[in-house]
Structure 1
Amino acid sequence: MARYNFANMGDGRFNPDGSPRPGYLAKMYWAVIGGFLCAALLLRLCDIGLGLQRKRRKNARPKFVLTRLHATFTSIARVVTYPTPPFLQRYPGFVYFPSVGRMLLVLSYICLLIGLFFYRNPISKSRSWENAAYRAAWLSIAQLPLVVLLSVKRLSIISLITGSTSSVTLNFFHRWVARGLLLTATLHMFYMMRYYASFEFLVLQLKTDILTRRGVGTWSVLAWIVVLSSFRPIRHYAFELFFANHVVSIIAFFIVLMKHTPSYAHVYIWIAIAIWIADVTLRWVLILANNASPSGLRYRASVSVMQDERALTVEIPMTSVGLLKWTPGQFVRLSFPTVAPLTSHPFTISSLPQDNKMHFVIRAKSGFTKRILKKTLSIGADLEKQDDNLAATATYPVIIDGPYGGPSRSWNQFHAVLSVVCGIGATYGFSVLRDVCRDKRAVRTLQLVWIVRNYRDIFAFQVHLEQIVKAREADSTSDLSVLIQVFVSDSSTIPSIGTHQADLDGFLARHVDVIQVIPGKPVIRELIRGVLDRADGETGIAVCGSQKLSADVKNDVAVLLDARAAHTGSGAQGCWVHSEQFEV
């Protein structure tokens, strides 16, 4: 920002002509954001109350007028907001297009910024260009706390208010609010350049005015953070490099911004910095409290490499201290100091707290997971094998950070629960199934659709399959219908009938009433249709896999809900989808 007349730009509310002063625009911005969050909180409280009622009555069908109206309007909203147009999914590895609901929220946010910028802001004359620049500057500074709130891990106030705990969702809106910040910062720089009137005067300002140079530097660092260094392929294929650059660049941005802006405009900057520092402090306090012990690190992880050397199983016994509590579907960040120092990676917990251990199944690809696999193979090759399916085992000290994420609604409040997962996403699916089997409440139909490439991918989850079957057999009087369908895309890897020799093959042959191994790929829409047709209330669908799988499931749900619009008023055929995705 330039220094001209800036001292008067942040004081008061309105100018004599009725237009808001630039400094007051920041308060108007937060009034709108606060109103939106209050509305989201009311919807969240309605969902909580509805869930408690369903679990208490053990019935997912709405009985009262208000709950029936709620079922109708939520179903209509999902028909509109769930889909992602198929033509926008052509290049999922390069560019990602969100659902209609997310796009509407993003467009609404951009319209808010543009609307506030142009509200009673005549910029047809040169004397109004400076005022327009200051408007954009205040809108830029006002957005900083929201950008940080959408990025923090422990002080996630927005997750608490909205119920959206998915890191993928929060990161999506974090990036788009940051792009809104870049938009208003660009408007600020553009109108300051218009105010300078000529290119020669602008060059002179850059040479003689340090405030102008700091402004250009601030915008450059922001553009580097938001656009160049945050390009999706970089985040996806070199996340550790992206994260390190992100932290350093943000620190540099705040330093330059503080020098560029006047002291009375620093309140929003200090709020953003305070939120970030408090979050980091709380996170590390909890990490130390959960992991530190007088003798060193509290937890040790037993890592096993499967025979195909593509999958790892990690088991961490939980101590009696009981500091770590998690719910099904949550993930933690694991760090192995003796294998990959100063590096951590998120993994979904596939076990329940009642197991007194954390269990993970990890697909070894590159980077962090590849290093763990190679280390285990090198030091565990000569250890005694506990299972013919294991290639090597080893034990390492481990640091646990979390838990994070998880669905905003408990699965046992629905009449039917369907989990659609692919590959390693089964860690999420099996935790949902086991939790519902343990406490089903209103659930009467429980189904898992698991898509794998190779039949041997099932071996890493044999213990999970056995746990599901054991839980079902233990409650023989239950009216809960349980079905697991494993679709193997490479059908040539499925053993022929009569050749079952391995323990898993024999186990699957004995329990075909619960577990079905099916060659080929599923028709997701028909599977969802079957569950909805049997449901006598709302259905909950858990999706874990690629962004394309999540988009396909939501598209199918929107089509089926639209076809059943006549029934949504009764509460039947309603459907809620929660998705967890592999990509960042």
Structure 2
Amino acid sequence: MATLTPKQKLIALGEIQFPKYVWYLYACIIAAAGLVNVVSLLWARWRRHKYTSTTTSTTTLKKGIISTSRLPAAILAASRVAAFRWRIPAVHMTLLEVLLTITYIVVLACLEFTMTLDYNVQIWGNRAGHLATIQFPLIVALSGKNNVIGIITGLSHENLNLLHRMVSRVLMCLVWIHCAGTYVHWLTGAHRDERPWIYASWIVAGFISCIAQTILVFFSWGPIRRRFYESFYMMHMVLIIIILVCTMYHVHMNDVLFDLYASPYIWPSFLVWGIDRGCRLLRVLLLNSVFKPQKDLGRIDLITRDTLLITIKRHIPHALNWHAGQHMFVSFPTLGLGQSHPFTMASIPRGDGDEQELTFIARVRNGLTKTIKERILEHGACEVPVILDGPYGAPADITPFSTCVFVAGGSGVTYTLPRFEELISALNTKTACARRIVFIWAIRERTHMRWIVKHLAATAARVPSHVSLSASIYITSSSNGVAELTGDGTSRPPSPSEEEDVEKTGAVDADDASSIDGLDVKFDRLSVFTAKPDVKKILEDEVGASEGPVSVDVSGPDSLLAATRSALSSGFAGPLSVLKGAPTVQLNVEAFSF
């Protein structure tokens, strides 16, 4: 057996062992996230078992005195604030996401340029190609709507999508390093006199893959992606196939060593992609009459000048029933062929029968929703074929929490209202622990209240007697209505300590919901304010009064999400307050990042 030279040993180390080390790291990170998920599930089960709704008494927390027994809870609070609520403005990422990105880049950079014999171009150039190749299964897995990473970690595909884009951009850098190294090696190495070598088919295939990746990364930049989402989606589908096919050819037609150790990272990408597409196809077949689309109609109404209400009645298999907070990809083949958009379901499954009514509230923007609006303005409310794909998403379990706060802005109520309704159903079946529920909705115009006010009133009527409910609607740009204003021009609902007096005296400055655009609604526990909600004050009051862990669900414009994150990064939700007896707070944010 021939003895390897030092250079050959370094090449083998970098191209065979280093890729394995990277996947060991990936496995450890996924396992750690999976462990956190398991612990969270066990904690939720313990809470429900210990504090079910059959118990009307609560344990009073001793507040104001530092207790070392609450150190684990304080560490949890600190980690939540630092990892998930602090955001880096320039990149719009949480601190945890930034740290993961930096760690990922540093690890790959170290493996790329470590032990390269004074940066020998043949070593680092080819090694970059191997390190890039091993990323393909991870990228494809992170992009899938059905993937094992999400199952293990409990994260939904929209959360994993950010990591997908991060890995894709690092992959592009590695590919360009590999491309540059190959070109330099051709100019200075053993192939410098073989000019046709650089034009070999496998080299050209690799270069095509590199260009395709660069184009894809450029068009995935946030402003471009959001502005031309439909075009980006179709481009993404085409370019990813070009990238995988060209990379596979590039690897297979290269030397034997490269093919032997790189191919095992390429073909699984096709397998992972195929499994995801197969699962999505199965969902589509189960939810839709694919061969008779005229049977699967949905009604679309324009309920305000910039808001669509989509109502669909469909037979839903029990296995595909959804949970509040999940979403479906909805496409209208007669209005926009090949276009599919994620909409959060504004309803929850009802009854035991297969036929369910799904409702979606969508804001009119450019593209498909604008086309639908123009059609309705011309022809009136319409019924069109609708194809559904879903449900997707992994909304957090809020049944173990003592206080549940729902904060929504505009169409974000399609996330919080079903969550509120599902929680009430759990309370009535004695599978939730809530003693206090706060529902906040900020809207621009009074007419928006017609979206949900009847539904909200019907849901509130089912709240058990031992649960305290505060429901408030804030009209941020209307001159009508009465508000209890704070010093900074914002308003807040009655705090838990004030609510008892309010109920006795009837002193809440609230409009009569029955007067809203002729709606015949009786909702005594609804307060309507003409102001912006003082999010920090509301949350501080609720956290301070809660006798157990607090859950905050928020959905809406970026400004509302930022205000909520900022509020829950304040001292009242921080580790020192938790050490003194304050409850821990879990923040659940719905924000699509397509």
TM-score interval for Structure 1 and Structure 2 normalised by the shorter chain: 0.7 to 0.9
TM-score, normalisation: structure 2: 0.82
Greater shift, 180-189 or 104-113, is seen at 180-189
The residue that corresponds to 2:227 in the other structure is 237
Matched, 1:218 2:197: no
Instruction: Report if aligned partners of 2:513, 2:522 keep a CA contact under 8 Å in 1.
Output: no
Matched, 1:458 2:465: no
Residue by residue over 1:214-265, the C-alpha shift from the partner in whole angstroms, topping out at 9 and shown as x without a partner, is 4333222211111x22121121111010011111111111222122213322
Shift of 1:505: 6.1
Letter of the structure 2 residue corresponding to residue 406 of structure 1: A
Letter of the structure 1 residue corresponding to residue 393 of structure 2: G
Separation (CA, whole Å) in 1 of partners of 2:12 and 2:70: 45
Going from structure 1 to structure 2, the CA distance change for 1:260 and 1:332 (only over 3 Å counts) comes to same
Shift of 1:336: 2.3
Separation (CA, whole Å) in 1 of partners of 2:194 and 2:21: 35
Matched, 1:511 2:523: yes
Shift of 1:117: 1.9
Aligned length: 541
Instruction: Report if aligned partners of 1:484, 1:515 keep a CA contact under 8 Å in 2.
Output: yes
Going from structure 1 to structure 2, the CA distance change for 1:414 and 1:148 (only over 3 Å counts) comes to same
Q: Out of 247, 269, 272, which is 1:272 matched to?
A: 269
Separation (CA, whole Å) in 2 of partners of 1:202 and 1:504: 83
Instruction: Report if aligned partners of 2:77, 2:578 keep a CA contact under 8 Å in 1.
Output: no
Matched, 1:573 2:583: yes
Structure 2 matches for 1:547-566, cutoff 5 A? 547-560=558-571, 563-566=574-577
Residue by residue over 1:537-567, the C-alpha shift from the partner in whole angstroms, topping out at 9 and shown as x without a partner, is 2111111123343233222212235645242
The residue that corresponds to 2:540 in the other structure is 529
Instruction: Report if aligned partners of 2:403, 2:437 keep a CA contact under 8 Å in 1.
Output: yes
- SS where residue 20 of structure 1 aligns? helix
Letter of the structure 2 residue corresponding to residue 239 of structure 1: Y
Q: Out of 33, 58, 79, which is 1:77 matched to?
A: 79
Letter of the structure 1 residue corresponding to residue 40 of structure 2: D
Between the aligned residues of both structures, percent identity stands at 23
Instruction: Report if aligned partners of 1:75, 1:568 keep a CA contact under 8 Å in 2.
Output: no
Going from structure 1 to structure 2, the CA distance change for 1:506 and 1:442 (only over 3 Å counts) comes to farther
Going from structure 1 to structure 2, the CA distance change for 1:62 and 1:287 (only over 3 Å counts) comes to farther
Letter of the structure 2 residue corresponding to residue 152 of structure 1: G
The residue that corresponds to 1:422 in the other structure is 409
Q: Out of 283, 307, 312, which is 1:311 matched to?
A: 307
Matched, 1:343 2:339: yes
Separation (CA, whole Å) in 2 of partners of 1:135 and 1:157: 28
- SS where residue 365 of structure 1 aligns? coil
Matched, 1:109 2:107: no
Residue by residue over 1:73-108, the C-alpha shift from the partner in whole angstroms, topping out at 9 and shown as x without a partner, is 32121121133457x26xxxxxx5211121111111
Going from structure 1 to structure 2, the CA distance change for 1:551 and 1:318 (only over 3 Å counts) comes to same
Unaligned segments of structure 1, at least 5 residues? 1-7, 90-95, 381-392
Shift of 1:351: 1.0
Going from structure 1 to structure 2, the CA distance change for 1:22 and 1:322 (only over 3 Å counts) comes to closer
Instruction: Report if aligned partners of 1:23, 1:135 keep a CA contact under 8 Å in 2.
Output: no
Instruction: Report if aligned partners of 1:330, 1:348 keep a CA contact under 8 Å in 2.
Output: yes
TM-score, normalisation: structure 1: 0.84
Matched, 1:300 2:293: no
Separation (CA, whole Å) in 2 of partners of 1:299 and 1:13: 67
Going from structure 1 to structure 2, the CA distance change for 1:295 and 1:149 (only over 3 Å counts) comes to closer
Instruction: Report if aligned partners of 2:510, 2:526 keep a CA contact under 8 Å in 1.
Output: no
The residue that corresponds to 1:353 in the other structure is 349
Going from structure 1 to structure 2, the CA distance change for 1:239 and 1:80 (only over 3 Å counts) comes to same
Shift of 1:110: 1.1
Q: Out of 139, 145, 153, which is 1:162 matched to?
A: 153
Instruction: Report if aligned partners of 1:315, 1:359 keep a CA contact under 8 Å in 2.
Output: yes
Greater shift, 424-433 or 201-210, is seen at 201-210
Separation (CA, whole Å) in 1 of partners of 2:563 and 2:590: 13
Letter of the structure 2 residue corresponding to residue 529 of structure 1: E
Instruction: Report if aligned partners of 2:74, 2:575 keep a CA contact under 8 Å in 1.
Output: no
CA root-mean-square deviation: 3.4
Matched, 1:485 2:479: no
Separation (CA, whole Å) in 1 of partners of 2:196 and 2:92: 41
The residue that corresponds to 1:56 in the other structure is 49
Going from structure 1 to structure 2, the CA distance change for 1:461 and 1:123 (only over 3 Å counts) comes to farther
Separation (CA, whole Å) in 1 of partners of 2:176 and 2:121: 14
Separation (CA, whole Å) in 1 of partners of 2:68 and 2:129: 45
Matched, 1:138 2:130: yes
Shift of 1:173: 0.8
Q: Out of 330, 346, 357, which is 2:326 matched to?
A: 330
Instruction: Report if aligned partners of 1:206, 1:213 keep a CA contact under 8 Å in 2.
Output: no
- SS where residue 466 of structure 2 aligns? coil
Separation (CA, whole Å) in 2 of partners of 1:282 and 1:85: 34
The residue that corresponds to 2:143 in the other structure is 151
Separation (CA, whole Å) in 2 of partners of 1:337 and 1:77: 45
Letter of the structure 2 residue corresponding to residue 337 of structure 1: P
Separation (CA, whole Å) in 2 of partners of 1:498 and 1:410: 32
Shift of 1:362: 2.0
Letter of the structure 1 residue corresponding to residue 535 of structure 2: I
Going from structure 1 to structure 2, the CA distance change for 1:509 and 1:325 (only over 3 Å counts) comes to closer
Shift of 1:467: 2.0
Instruction: Report if aligned partners of 2:311, 2:360 keep a CA contact under 8 Å in 1.
Output: yes
